[in-house]
């Protein structure tokens, strides 16, 4: 389709696998290079090039980008919210330095575009709980949220100061069946499907009425690609866009699963992740993304639940 050569960093992770496969369909298998610190995810095997790469090793990263003729980077390597609270120093180091390495190389090599995801974790207890707007009070309380908020302003800085076309979305919790989640607070909404099918029971680490913003992975992948393919002048938010689809509680998703598996039951044993969840908004207002580049979600809770169960049963 084009002469773009795309490098996906963190391609073996929950989003990386599906994003790499989707990009390969658009740009051609050989034009999308998957890379990760850990071994290649089996779902990517045989579908295109893979390089083993540590985003913290700037020199090696730079060499690969020149050698492979990379024109765009999707940076997905990060330490997520729940894991980050267990190792704050490492989370800060990877989430910040990884981004700065990529932005610096993008500037030097004049890459066409960079994608880097932020998260609803930028919001904290002082942000509005319902329909949290694009611009509002932002006082994150997790190291993950702090790193994402700082990262957003680095993206803004590199765009304004050096013209690096870096684009970003504040993903809500992402639900998928292909690749396992990477240690986030919204992981319960994936575990619940696996446990429902295997044991007809799930013990949830949040309370029953903990509402969180969520999205089904096909919507998230489409949002990412639509953002990246939008004309440059349409991308007016150069920190990161609020992005929203659905909001539900553990009790509500359990009720939806029960429609398919009548014997399913749930109980609740909240742990430290409840504090993280309670600091976040329950729903997000993404009007700015919808107006600027035409974002629209497709999957609601019912459609997502049906699709998850059908695919996991196979
Ligand atoms: P993940 O943990 O599943 O995947 C991250 C990948 O990065 C892993 O395969 C890991 O091996 C790799 N990695 C770690 N350190 C690396 C390094 N030094 N060099 C190269 N690769 C390295 O995470 P994910 O869920 O796919 O998330 C991807 C991005 O999206 C992250 O920035 C995350 O903060 C963001 N995000 C995810 C969610 C979600 O619900 N999954 C929500 C909001 C934001």
Q: Which of 297, 69, 308, 30 is nearest to 196 (CA)?
A: 308
pLDDT tens for 225-252 read 999 999 999 999 999 999 999 999 999 9
Considering only CA atoms, which residue is closest to atom 14 of ligand 1? 77
Place of tokens 């932020």: 118
In terms of phi and psi (left: phi > 0; alpha: psi -120 to 50; beta: otherwise), the region of 261 is beta
Q: Which residues have a Cβ under 8 Å from the Cβ of 281 and sit 6 or more positions away?
A: 120, 123, 127, 128, 129, 130, 131, 132, 213
Q: What is the pLDDT of residue 180?
A: 84
Residue 144 annotated in active site: yes
Cα 166 off chain centre by: 16
Q: Are 245 and 93 in contact (CB under 8 A)?
A: no
- Say what angle helices 188-199 and 301-313 make with each other, to 10 degrees: 50
Is 20 near ligand 1, meaning CB less than 6 Å away?
Answer: no
Calculate the alpha carbon distances from 153 to 100, 103, 148 in Å.
11, 12, 9
Is 93 near ligand 1, meaning CB less than 6 Å away?
Answer: no
Considering only CA atoms, which residue is closest to atom 19 of ligand 1? 54
Instruction: List, in order of start, the domains of the chain with CATH numbers.
Output: 6-172+218-228 (3.40.50.720), 174-214+245-313 (3.90.25.10)
> Beta-carbon neighbour count of residue 303 at 10 Å?
12
ipTM above 0.85, yes or no: yes
d(CA 19, CA 34): 10
d(CA 171, CA 99): 17
Q: What is the pLDDT of residue 2?
A: 53
Calculate the alpha carbon distances from 296 to 102, 119, 222, 249 in Å.
29, 18, 10, 22
Considering only CA atoms, which residue is closest to atom 44 of ligand 1? 119
Q: What is the pLDDT of residue 182?
A: 83
Active-site entry in 144, 149, 202, 216: 144
d(CA 147, CA 143): 6
Pairing verdict, β 32-36 and 6-9: parallel
Q: What is the pTM of this model?
A: 0.97
Q: Which of 124, 121, 161 is nearest to 145 (CA)?
A: 121
Place of tokens 């579908």: 47
Q: Which residues of the chain have pLDDT under 50?
A: 1
Q: Which residues have a Cβ under 8 Å from the Cβ of 137 and sit 6 or more positions away?
A: 124, 126, 127, 128
Is 83 near ligand 1, meaning CB less than 6 Å away?
Answer: no
- Distance from the CA of 12 to the center of ligand 1, in angstroms? 8
């Amino acid at each position: 389709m084009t002469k773009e050569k795309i490098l996906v960093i963190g391609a073996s992770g929950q989003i990386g696998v599906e994003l790499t496969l989707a990009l390969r369909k658009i740009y051609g298998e050989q034009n999308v290079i998957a890379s990760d610190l850990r071994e290649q995810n089996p779902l990517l095997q045989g579908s295109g090039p893979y390089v083993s790469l540590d985003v913290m090793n700037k020199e090696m990263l730079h060499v690969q980008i020149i050698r492979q003729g990379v024109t765009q980077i999707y940076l997905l390597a990060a330490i997520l919210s729940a894991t980050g609270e267990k190792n704050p120093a490492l989370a800060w180091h990877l989430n910040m330095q990884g981004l700065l390495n990529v932005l610096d190389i993008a500037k030097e090599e004049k890459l066409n575009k960079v994608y880097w995801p932020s998260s609803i974790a930028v919001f904290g207890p002082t942000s509005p709980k319902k329909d949290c707007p694009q611009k509002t009070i932002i006082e994150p309380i997790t190291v993950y949220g702090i790193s994402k908020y700082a990262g957003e302003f680095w993206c803004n800085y590199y765009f304004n100061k050096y013209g690096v076309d870096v684009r970003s979305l504040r993903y809500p919790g992402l639900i998928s069946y292909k690749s396992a989640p990477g240690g986030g607070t919204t992981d319960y909404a994936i575990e619940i499907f696996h446990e429902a099918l295997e044991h007809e029971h799930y013990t949830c680490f949040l309370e029953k009425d903990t509402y969180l913003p969520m999205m089904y992975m096909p919507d998230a992948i489409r949002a990412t690609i639509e953002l990246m393919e939008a004309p440059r002048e349409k991308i007016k938010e150069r920190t990161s866009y609020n992005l929203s689809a659905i909001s539900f509680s553990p009790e509500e998703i359990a009720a939806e699963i029960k429609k398919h598996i009548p014997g399913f039951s749930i109980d609740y044993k909240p742990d430290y992740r409840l504090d993280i969840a309670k600091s976040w908004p329950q729903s997000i207002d993404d009007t700015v993304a919808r107006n600027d580049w035409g974002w629209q979600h497709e999957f609601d809770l019912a459609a997502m639940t049906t699709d998850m169960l059908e695919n996991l049963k196979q």
